Amino acid sequence: MPAIDLGQTTSSDDHTHGLSMIRALLSTKITLPPVQQGHISRGRLSADPGRQANLRLILISAPAGFGKSICLLEWCHALRQDGTKIVWYALDAQDNDPARFASHLAGAFARAVEEDADGFAEPATAGNLDSVMAVLVNTLAQTPDRFVFAFDDYHLIAAPEIHAALGLMLEHLPANAQIALATRADPPLQLSRLRARGQVLEVRAADLRFTAPEIEQFFAQAVGLRLSRDHLDQLDQLSEGWAAALRLITLSLGGAGQAVDSHGVGEPLVNDRSVERILSRFSPAKQHIFDYLADEVFEQQPEETRQYLLDTCVLDHLTPELCGVITGNCGAPLLLERLVRGRLFVIPLAESEPIFRYHHLFADFLRQRLRQADLPRWRERQRQAAEWYEQHADWTQAVHHALNGEEYAYAAWLIEARAWEALTSRGEIMTVLAWLPRFPQDELKEHPRLCLYFSRAMYLTGDLQQSLALVTIATQAIKGLDPSAAETVELRTIAYSYQATLAAYRGQIADGLALAEQALADRETLNRLGQTRLVNTIGYLYYASGKIAESRRFYQEAYALAQEIGHAFLMIDAQHFLAELDIAAGELGAAEARCAEMLTQYPRDLAPIGDLVLSLANVHYERNDLTRAEALLREAIQLSRSGGLRYTQWVACVALARVLAVEERFDEAQAMLRQAMAVAAAFNGPTIQSLVEAMGARLALLQGQVEEAADWLGRDAEVEALETLRHFEILTRARVLLALRHPPEALPLLEAFGHSARADGRHGHALEADVLRALALNLSGQLPAALTVLKVALPQAEREGYVRVFLDEGAPMLRLLARAGEAGISPAYVGLLREAENAARRVHPADLLSDRELDVLRLLAQGATNHDIVDALVISLGTVKSHINHIMTKLDARNRTEAVAKARSLGLLDGE
């Protein structure tokens, strides 16, 4: 596949003014904010649920305005006073990007353990999400400290990758950690399972509703009024205990912000008549209670305050500097301070910095009012906010406000000139893609560069259909530009490069090469990054058509160019394909050395490293180290999934299905193949679909389902017109024909393929074809000819350590190898191959279990619980679970009882 890169790392720029403020704004997301002044503490909600045995999740779920965040915040502050480490993460819609989520979560954890309390900067790539979760779980298991991971406003998360990662974290949390979520809707986590295990505490709207005594206390503290029994009953019925409504009622009484004396008593600031007035004026038929009361509160404010509220409501964060810029009022900081003192739905976000936000419901009310009353003013304030964030190099917020103000040309420029490289260098592809639906189609047609960038983002996430649609829009727009202008030539060259990439996925190699040649003619119009991508694409086109020498030449150039610009992702990508070319050429040792060298240069949690891990797994598979191959493939899948690199993910899933199948773990292999199909479906490419279906036919053969495999032959014929090399499909077709005992049909196919492979330098592919050709000749009664083929193939295989190329063909090949050994053909290597097969059959489960796993197994046989095992072996709960999972896998057991029964039958339990 052409380079899976996430962009170019940008160097620091001149936008340094106000950087500390931007850092402070960002840090509020991962810093536990103070409890709002005047908060009513409700002890029944702040009890410590985390001390309940086995509890993993605290779920605070209720509609807006019920005080979920305050409940979570009060509980976290109480825990922190007892020494618990609080990992706080206040979420917003932009956190749906897995890379952004990972970096913020890593920063929140570092802040909680005080490793980087003062050094938080704008989030950079902190590893992929799955690896961050794994590091967190492993770190928690090794510390005696207690941790709570608190996620506020979790309902804003919609990304399946984030839900899956958090679910995985929940599954493996050690006993000293819990997760707490404040959300308007139940998250798509394994709640039923957690409920069945008693591992979740749920706080619902009914729990959060203010009781009558709490309403009475709230009014006494907020406005100094002791309510009559009748008014208390009326307020209880009117508000139904809804915290937001109660707060608005107190504000609408006109006494907000006036303090009682130091003893909490004094003359009532309002009286029964004030309450009577509010109750008589409210009519449910008028409006929703919140809208009505918000309007009442808003209208009670002085004109200056009303204008200030409308001007600043566009902001997600309120600071004195930013509010001053937006309002153009030098007194803005004083107004903000007045709002804070008056507790007019202004919520503090930091203890040491003057950073606030409006209550979400109040902000929604103000924004709706401003848009309806004065749309030009709404747009102007959004533009001002966007320009401020642009000046302070916060491109995400700048684009956000530009789009809110429907400033599409400005937003397009921000993405093209600023945000694209900055965000993609951190892997935040989903953040970029979230902006695409907000551009009207007519606007996209006016910005071909923007379309090309969006096309690239779609390609990186595997949506090739949308990627092609966007590059088509771009090419049409480019036709309307001055053809001789330098920018037009550059854009046309980029478009040719991207079209060539997409042609490769469609199996249209000739078209792709023609487009690439057009791009090459003007390659100097591209920057070094663009040139690297173009050369990489041409390398892939030749790779896909099986041209080893040509592909190697372009990938070597791509690697050199990537080195020049220091682009790690493209360097890794080029070396991955060079390793795959080594394997195709039959040079396993060279591929292994190449991967090993690159793996020492980069962190193992960097998502593109999964490509190199995949290539290394393929080498280990060919050499029959199936355990190592499986481990590497699972690592590659995890890395690619967390980094959104779907191409690597589906290829690794197919490869893992093959490993599982040859080990006769067919259910697992089929599940993995289904996963590959699901991931590959997004690509909508016939070449990918063809390979996945061929793997399905290979699984059918390994299970003896010859008729099912034969059905695939007819389906496969429908895609034979593809120009790409289909060596896996061709060799699978030969295997099916041999299983059907049709060697006369298989032989010409294998001979033609072998000849072509050697001509292109694909000696590894030719070796596999020769092995099958030997089987076909033997099946045809031509034993001498079959041995002649093996006489050439065996020495070649021995030099590079090939094993599976023979063992994958099962008993017929073993019998043929025996005849080869008797004929004096590579007798030592034949003996090694036969011994490898015998060893695989002789492996006893006791040889697969480690000493520690045997210790755990013996305790399971005695009826020990996980916690009993923790105490007995002095290991963490997470380690116990890991050992049990390994035991289940190695004994092929579905539960503990079955594992113990199998262990007894195999004599693995001493003294029984």
Q: What is the pLDDT of residues 731-772, one digit of tens each?
A: 999 999 999 999 999 999 999 999 999 999 999 999 999 999
Task: Decide if 75 contacts 207 (C-beta within 8 A).
Answer: no
Q: Which two tokens stand for residue 242?
A: 């809804």
Q: Flag the least confident range among 262-276, 820-834, 867-881, 892-906.
A: 262-276
Q: Give me the pLDDT at residue 123, please.
A: 38
Does the pLDDT value for residue 848 go beyond 90?
no
CB neighbours of 672 closer than 8 A, spacing ≥ 6?
653, 654, 656, 657, 660
Cα–Cα distances in angstroms (integers) from residue 461 to residues 273, 423, 465, 581, in the given order: 62, 15, 11, 25
Q: 456-510: per-residue pLDDT in tens?
A: 999 887 788 899 999 999 999 999 999 999 999 999 999 999 999 899 888 889 9
Beta strands in 301-457 (DSSP E): 346-348, 356-358
* E-strand stretches of 653-695: none
Residues facing residue 200 across a β-bridge: 57
Once rounded to an integer, what is the mean pLDDT over residues 56-61?
92
Calculate mean pLDDT across residues 109-120: 64
More confident residue, 389 or 122: 389
pLDDT, tens digit (0-9, with 9 covering 90-100), for 618-637: 999 999 999 999 999 998 99
> How many helices (H) does the chain have, and how many strands (E)?
49, 7
Q: Does residue 671 register a pLDDT over 80?
A: yes
Q: What is the pLDDT of residues 710-719, one digit of tens each?
A: 998 877 665 5
Distances from the Cα of 33 to the Cα of 322, 346, 868, angstroms:
20, 13, 39
Q: Using CB atoms within 10 Å of the CB of residue 791, give its burial: 0 to 12 exposed, 13 to 18 middle, 19+ buried.
A: middle
Alpha-carbon distance 175 to 159, whole Å?
Answer: 27
Write down the pLDDT at residue 262.
32
| Secondary structure in 3-state letters for 769-821 | HHHHHHHHHHHCCCHHHHHHHHHHHHHHHHHHCCCHHHHCCHHHHHHHHHHHH
Q: Note the pTM of the prediction, 2 decimals.
A: 0.73
Residue 352 burial (CB < 10 Å; 0-12/13-18/19+)?
exposed
DSSP code, position 89: E
CA 268 to chain centre: 55
Question: Phi-psi region for residue 204, left (φ > 0), alpha (ψ -120 to 50) or beta?
Answer: beta
Model confidence band, residue 679 (pLDDT cutoffs 50, 70, 90): confident
Contact between 57 and 189 under an 8 Å Cβ cutoff? The reply is yes
